[in-house]
Every structure is written in C-alpha cells, then in structure tokens.
Amino acid sequence: MFEDIPVDVGVIYEGERIRRQDLYVEFGGPKCPYKFELVRARKMEEVEDGKIEIIGPDIKDLPEGTRYHPLGILVEVAGKEVEEELEGVIERRIHEFCNYIQGFMHLNQRYDIWLRLSKRSYQKGLNSFEYIGKVLIRLFKSELPFIEKIQVTFITDPEKVKELYEEALRIYEARDARARGLKDDEVDTFYGCTLCQSFAPTHVCVITPQRFSNCGAISWFDARAAARVDPKGPIFPVPKGECLDPVKGEYEGVNKVVKEKSLGAIERVWLYTAFGYPHTSC
C-alpha cells in the first residue's frame, strides 16, 4: 500500500516525538500565527480523486532548520454518504494519519496545528508533501470507505495561508455555533471517542451537547454523524442511563461504558467538575 513512500507508514509510529535538535523543518506551532487544517464536504463533480496540490514552497524548497513556517492543509471529500456534519470528524483523522508516517510529527488540530519532519526521514527521501498527501488519501479511503473521492491541498505560501486562515476560522465558528443551543438533558445518548488511546491508553472522551471532545474538534452532532456512518470506528454511542448526580454530571450509562473502554482503569466519571472523579484527559 505504501511501497512508493520512502519511509515506513504504520500505527507503530503514532505518538512519536521529534525534538528540536532532530527536526529538518517545522510547520505551524505556537510561534506561527497562521496555520490550519480543514476538511470540506463537496459535490462529486467538485473533487478530482487523488489530486494533490502544493501552493507555495514544497518541503525540499525550504532550508534545513526552518521553523514555524505557515501551513494550511485542505482536504476535500465527496461521496453519497458524505455530509457537512462529518467534516469535523474526518478532520480529526488528519492528526492520526499524519502520525502514522515515520519521522513526521503532527500535534493538535484546527487552527493550532504543529508539525515536524525529522532529519532522518528527510534523508530517506521524505522531501515533498506529495508523499504526505498520498498517505492521507490512501488511509482516508481505506479507513473511511464512505469517502468516494478525495483531494488534498497543502498551502505553504504565507499570504495564501493567512487568507484561507480567516475563512477556516469562520467555518469552525459556524460548526461550534450549531452545537450551542442543545442541552445535555435534552438527549438520551451521548457519544464516546477513543481516538487518542494510542498514546493515552485509559482515556475515553465523553462527548455531550454541552461538552466537546477534549481535542475541541468533535461536537455532539459530529459524533452522532460519525457513529452512524462508521459504526465500527472509534466514535460510538453512549446511552446516558440513569442520572446519578445532575450537579456533578454522573450518569450510570457513562460509567459503564467508560469502565469497559478503559479496560477497568476508570470506573466513575463526573462530567461537570474537575474534582472527585474528573473526566480523563489525553
């Protein structure tokens, strides 16, 4: 599947960290004001399947030691089951799939991304976003079969990143606003997510109308859509069950599922307080 990629690709590399002295180039990060990753649902005719575009200098065009370079990652997807509600969920998988690449570190999400490429992987030939794009496309279509067509654009031109950054912020805000009106006591089902268990083995995210995932990228609406189209995936329904404490936010169903998904490490969760039995963190 990845014979034409110059480095290994696999879940074994998820959680790999690249220290400053080992990096070849760095994108985004805390000192870079403009960076983002964004998934957009498109019509079938609007997506050229397999297309990878680079706007601005490629990795090999940047001098060794480049730090905090602006970066935008735009992933456009289409398919009969692809809908706008799935954008945030698909977007979160960029983090996971990038980290499958040996010597390529991806942290955070949305407008807070931070990526590093190691010297060793660059020397092996990982010198272009073309390779990163190929990995993303293959993993997305393999892991999320409802995606029928996908194209990926990497933007490294600082002015273009700045321009699209503002648009990305508006899209994030529109997603978040959609979730603000619903309350926890108005639904019977919450959702859980175990995407981060590769590096936080006992962490189980509980997503409710009033509580986004810890990463900040998945709302209750996003999770509901994801669980529907990918029932065997890392996002799943959590029946609330009896409310044991409406003030602290303890639910019988949540306790049961969290205990099961954390393999018994966590037995109780209070969703509305940081004391006692706080929600786990990655």
242-282 pLDDT, tens per residue?
A: 999 999 999 999 999 999 999 999 999 999 999 999 999 87
Q: Which of 49-58, 63-72, 271-280 has the lowest mean pLDDT?
A: 271-280
Q: Are 274 and 212 in contact (CB under 8 A)?
A: no
Asked whether 118 and 48 are in contact (CB, 8 A), the reply is no
User: Regarding beta strands 52-55 and 66-69, do their DSSP bridges make them parallel or antiparallel, or are they unpaired?
Assistant: unpaired
**pLDDT tens by residue, 91-111:** 999 999 999 999 999 999 999
Looking at every residue in the chain, the average pLDDT score rounds to 95
| pLDDT confidence bin for 73, thresholds 50/70/90 | very high
pLDDT tens string 133-152 = 999 999 999 999 999 999 99
Length of the chain as a residue count: 282
Bridge-based pairing state of the strands 235-239 and 189-193: antiparallel
Whether the pLDDT of residue 198 is over 90: the answer is: no
> Which pLDDT score, from 0 to 100, does residue 257 have?
96
pLDDT of res. 276: 94
Q: Does 85 score more than 90 pLDDT?
A: no
Of 231 and 169, more confident: 169
d(Cα 248, Cα 187) in Å, to the nearest integer?
17
pLDDT-derived band at 217 (thresholds 50, 70, 90) equals confident
Nearest alpha carbon to residue 271 among 233, 227, 238: 238
**Domain coordinates in residue numbering, the chain:** 11-179, 182-261
Domain 182-261 -> CATH class: alpha beta
Q: Looking at the predicted structure, is the pLDDT value of residue 42 above 90?
A: yes
Tell me the backbone φ, ψ of residue 228, rounded to 5 degrees: -70, -45
pLDDT recorded at residue 15: 85
pTM of the model: 0.83
Contact by Cβ (8 Å): 149, 16: no
Strands (E), the chain: 23-28, 35-41, 52-55, 66-69, 71-78, 104-107, 114-118, 149-155, 189-193, 205-207, 235-239, 243-245, 250-251
Instruction: Give mean pLDDT, residues 85-90.
Output: 91
**Residue 272 DSSP SS3:** coil
Q: Is residue 179 predicted with pLDDT exceeding 90? A: no
Report the distance separating Cα 106 and Cα 53, nearest Å: 20
Q: Class assignment of domain 11-179?
A: alpha beta
CB 62 within 8 A of CB 68: no
Q: What angle do CA 3, 66, 166 make, to 5 degrees?
A: 90
Q: Is 203 left (phi over 0), alpha (psi -120 to 50) or beta?
A: beta
In this prediction, what percent of the chain has a pLDDT beyond 70?
A: 100
